[in-house]
Amino acid sequence: MNGWLVLLLASAGHAEWWVIAVNRLHSFPIAAHKLRRFRTFHDVAVPGFPLLVAAIAGFGEKGLLRGGSPADQPILLQVLLMCAASGCIPLLFAVLRWQASGCKAFHLTDARELLIIRDTNSTDQQAASVPAIESVSGLPKTLARVWPFNEFNHLELNRKSIRIVAPAIRSSPDRPNETLQRPLRLLHFSDLHFTGTPGLGFYREFVRLVLQHPVDAVFFTGDLIDAPELLPQAIEILRPLAQHAPCWFVLGNHDWRYDHEHIRHTLEESGWTCVAGRGQQAVLNGLAVFIAGSERPWMGNEPPIAADISADLKVLLCHTPDGRNDAARRGYQLMLCGHTHGGQVVLPVMGPVYSPSITGVRFASGLFQWPDMVMHVSRGIGSKDPLRWNCPPEVTWLEVTLVPPSP
């Protein structure tokens, strides 16, 4: 086999093994400084591996890059190359799965509108044409400015229809049939990551756009803060949503890194309701809706079992899609989550590469159907690193229609 091809396959497989490790580790409650240390190893090892192999076995008399074969190399290096190249198997499987189903779930929507959000705080016309990077400095500012086609300050407004089989949907005098025919309108967004990138003007514009559309409920699925000093501004920006419709939330792993109880209490004081580890009954559009939440594995208790609860619709807010199987077993019909950011960078053909989940990129973003449950994974609105490509931030209006089971 051509030595260049061997080195290419080994490098691709080696990178995939590191990606698998990074994705899985970020799905567990591991301290941020340890995750950063592991990412540093990753950042060195991925580009360093092909350089090291080329230096050791690339240019010698029977080097891989001079016509030599793997059999001509030392046995230890042969084993290393074989182990590294084996990573091409899960890589190929991930690409095929993306092409077969992941890409469709990622892009499935009834309607979308893509906006570029400018710095709406500025009164200067020229400054208002600059992306909202009000307080960014250092590497984040460089990434935000120089990465070609960076979509970190874009916002995609999506509308998606969901049909859910509800066992006991019937009309009654206090719930006429025409009321049941209107879908339940739910607003779902996730991963705000207030950290100065984008600037606060981006979030104010997001809220302004949301307030233009009537909804029955608003759901936020975690990661509010990455700069604790911005909490007062975050609460001030989100407060109007609680006056627009009933609002429920859970927190996420980035909130866990700070004084999460203070974050929770402050958001609740502004009119939002936290359902982490518990459930609450509500009447939305004449329907009995049970809403519960989970911040596992980072915080709190497991959500309540919903199978025996009397409600037309049972909704679970969960920061990560990793809780999907448990949610289905507990009797929830709709699960809303985020955490993955859609991968932030979606490559042509390959799809997303990095997604902090025990299943990697399988549920990076979109709508996913179980036999008795639908899961919506949001790409989120903010990000700690201002880098998005083929994966703009999103806010989603879900139009949920409940239908009786087939006879």
Q: Which of 61-70, 260-269, 333-342, 353-362 has the lowest mean pLDDT?
A: 61-70
Average pLDDT of 248-261? 96
Q: Which of 1-15, 96-110, 267-281 has the lowest mean pLDDT?
A: 1-15
Whole-number Å distance between alpha carbons of 334 and 72 = 57
Domains of the chain: 3-86 (no CATH), 102-403 (3.60.21.10)
The answer to whether 394 touches 158, Cβ cutoff 8 Å, is yes
Average pLDDT of 170-177? 52
pLDDT of residue 128 exceeding 90 = no
Tokens representing residue 162 in the block: 């969901």
Question: 56, 174, 157, 44: which is closest to 393 by C-alpha?
Answer: 157
Reported as a pLDDT band with limits 50, 70 and 90, residue 177 is low
Whole-number Å distance between alpha carbons of 276 and 187 = 18
Average pLDDT of 140-163? 81
Question: 239, 247, 189: which is closest to 217 by C-alpha?
Answer: 247
For 315-329, the pLDDT digits (tens) are 999 999 999 999 999
pLDDT of residue 253 exceeding 50 = yes
Whole-number Å distance between alpha carbons of 380 and 230 = 18
Residues making up the chain, counted from first to last: 407
State residue 377's pLDDT score: 98
Instruction: Name residue, tokens 């049970």.
Output: 290
DSSP string, 287-351: EEEEEEEE-TTTSSPPPPP-TTS--SEEEEEESSGGGHHHHHHTT-SEEEE-SSGGGSBEETTTE
pLDDT of residue 132 exceeding 50 = no
Pairing of strands 346-347, 351-352: antiparallel
Whole-number Å distance between alpha carbons of 131 and 136 = 11
The one-letter code for the residue type at 124 is D
Which residues, 6+ apart, have CB-to-CB distance to 55 below 8 Å? none
Question: 335, 284, 278, 276: which is closest to 305 by C-alpha?
Answer: 278
State residue 116's pLDDT score: 86
Average pLDDT of 13-38? 95
Instruction: Name residue, tokens 């009954």.
Output: 281
pLDDT of residue 23 exceeding 60 = yes
Pairing of strands 334-337, 313-318: parallel
Q: pLDDT > 90: what percent of the chain?
A: 70
Reported as a pLDDT band with limits 50, 70 and 90, residue 204 is very high
State residue 170's pLDDT score: 54
pLDDT of residue 205 exceeding 50 = yes
Reported as a pLDDT band with limits 50, 70 and 90, residue 118 is low
3-state secondary structure of 406: coil
pLDDT of residue 387 exceeding 90 = no
For 226-246, the pLDDT digits (tens) are 999 999 999 999 999 999 999
Whole-number Å distance between alpha carbons of 372 and 359 = 20
Whole-number Å distance between alpha carbons of 313 and 167 = 9
3-state secondary structure of 274: strand
Reported as a pLDDT band with limits 50, 70 and 90, residue 143 is low
Q: Which of 111-115, 163-167, 227-231, 247-251 has the lowest mean pLDDT?
A: 163-167
Question: 282, 212, 278: which is closest to 247 by C-alpha?
Answer: 282
Q: What is the pTM of this model?
A: 0.90
State residue 385's pLDDT score: 81
Reported as a pLDDT band with limits 50, 70 and 90, residue 4 is confident
Q: pLDDT > 70: what percent of the chain?
A: 86
State residue 371's pLDDT score: 83
pLDDT of residue 126 exceeding 50 = no
Average pLDDT of 115-121? 66
Reported as a pLDDT band with limits 50, 70 and 90, residue 141 is low
For 38-80, the pLDDT digits (tens) are 999 999 999 999 888 888 776 666 777 666 677 777 788 888 8
Query: In 173-293, which ranges are continuous DSSP H helix?
Result: 177-180, 200-210, 231-244, 253-256, 260-269
State residue 384's pLDDT score: 81
